[in-house]
Structure formats: C-alpha cells, structure tokens
Amino acid sequence: MFFFFKEAPLIALIGDIRKSKQLKNRKEVQDKLRDVLEDINVKYESDIAAKFVITLGDEFQGLLFNEKNMLHIIQEIKMRLYPVELRYGIGIGKIVTDINSEMALGADGPGYYNARNAMETVQQNEKRNKAILTDIRLDVGNHENSQIILMNTIFELLKTVELGWTDRQREIIWDMLCHQDGQAEVAKRLGITQSYVQKVLAKGRYYTYEKALKDVENILGDLIGNEGDF
C-alpha cells in the first residue's frame, strides 16, 4: 500500500550491525534480525509508517509516525540480538516521495538524509577512536539546535551507563524495562528476591537511566511538534 505525507515530519530510523563481517555466525545473526524486525512490525504496527526491512546484508531501516515507541523498538532489537552490537541513526524530517507502508524502501526526503548523516557520524567517530562513543545519534539537519545537542549527549551518557553493567545487572534491568512493572514482579519472573532486585537496580543506576529515556521521548515529542523547524 502506498500513501503520501506532504507536510508532517516523520522519524526515519536506520540501524546496522557493528563489525558484522567479523561475526562467525553472521548468517544466523542476519536471520535472527529479520525475525526480530518482523515481530517489531506487528507489535508496533500503529506507530509504523513504513515497515522495518533489511536493506543491505547488515543494515535495516523503518519509518515511524511518532516518537511514542521509538526507544522501545531500539531497546527491543538491542535486547533480542545481544551480545551482537548495533548502532542507530535517527532522522526527523519530511518525506517528499510516496511511501510504501509495507517496507521502508524507495521513500526519500530530509528525514532519511538526516538519519543517514546521524549513522555516518556514529561510524566515523568509531573509526577515529573517539573517547566518547554512542550507539545512537539523532539529526534534524540543524546542528546548532540545542535540543539535538542535549539529546545526543543523553545518548552518550546512556551508553556509558550500559557499559558499566554486568551480565546479571543487564538481565534484571532489561526485564524491568521490558515489562514496566515492579521489583516484586521482576523477582518472581527471575526466581530471585526483591531485595536483590532493588540492590541491582540501584547499583546499575536503573532509575536514572529510565528517567533519561523518558526525557528523550518528551524532547522528541517537542521536536516532532515543531515541524516548521525541519
């Protein structure tokens, strides 16, 4: 099904697998990514303007109507493919061509240009061995926008927090993020005590991490609302 958006900015999301050519099980990872994206397309159907699809062997992209579940989508892909590392370029902007809702291919416009620029910046920083690395970057075409600078700083800080997690901390924190309930429920699912969950969440800076994610969603909502800026 094809449709056309003349005015409203959309969110273009481009992702890829880091160091994919070095993976011994590359084909298996690609197959798993394809399955994960198919699940994402069903679960978040109401948020998706063009379904996520693998565009190259190790790269994928999708188009979203809004910011509501963007970070949930990124987190879910990250969780399900772990320990494989991924990186993401996010672009906000208008799409000037027809959009095929069944796959994010063929559409063009500032939204995709910005997402591609964001992805290339992440890749270039890695090649330069930049001290502060991130796996997510946002671009709207206006690099002096203070909100964008703030957002990308938050993404860097989130990555720094993640790098400090042990495997056990990551398991518990991701369970909490995935189910969005309480410590008692996490403890029951994982067969551990609530007090242990509480200690792990505190040590892993979970509540600071969660608040930062919510702040990112709110800022994204403001950016989408201010469509005249793009």
Output the tens digit of pLDDT for each of the chain's 230 residues.
Answer: 545 454 568 899 999 998 888 888 989 999 999 999 999 999 999 999 999 999 887 899 999 998 889 999 999 999 999 999 999 999 998 877 667 676 656 667 788 899 999 999 998 888 776 656 789 999 998 767 888 999 999 999 999 999 999 999 999 999 999 998 999 999 999 999 999 999 999 999 999 999 999 999 988 888 777 654 55
Give pLDDT, residue 21.
Answer: 83
Residue 30 lies in a domain: yes
In one-letter notation, the amino acid at residue 59 is: E
* Phi, psi of 122, deg, nearest 5: -60, -45
Residue 215 lies in a domain: no
In angstroms, the CA 12 to CA 61 distance is: 7
H-state helical runs in 15-109 = 26-43, 70-81
Give pLDDT, residue 222.
Answer: 83
Tell me the residue range of the domain where 90 lies.
2-140
Residue 198 lies in a domain: no
In angstroms, the CA 95 to CA 194 distance is: 47
Confidence (pTM): 0.89
Is 115 in contact with 123 (CB distance < 8 Å)?
Answer: no
Q: What is the pLDDT of residues 64-83, one digit of tens each?
A: 998 889 999 999 999 999 99
Give pLDDT, residue 228.
Answer: 47
Residue 24 lies in a domain: yes
In angstroms, the CA 64 to CA 47 distance is: 6
- Based on C-alpha coordinates, what's the Rg of the chain? 18
Residue 13 lies in a domain: yes
Domain at 8, CATH number: 3.30.70.270
Count of structural domains within the chain: 1
Give pLDDT, residue 124.
Answer: 87
Residue 194 lies in a domain: no
Residue 46 lies in a domain: yes
Residue 178 lies in a domain: no
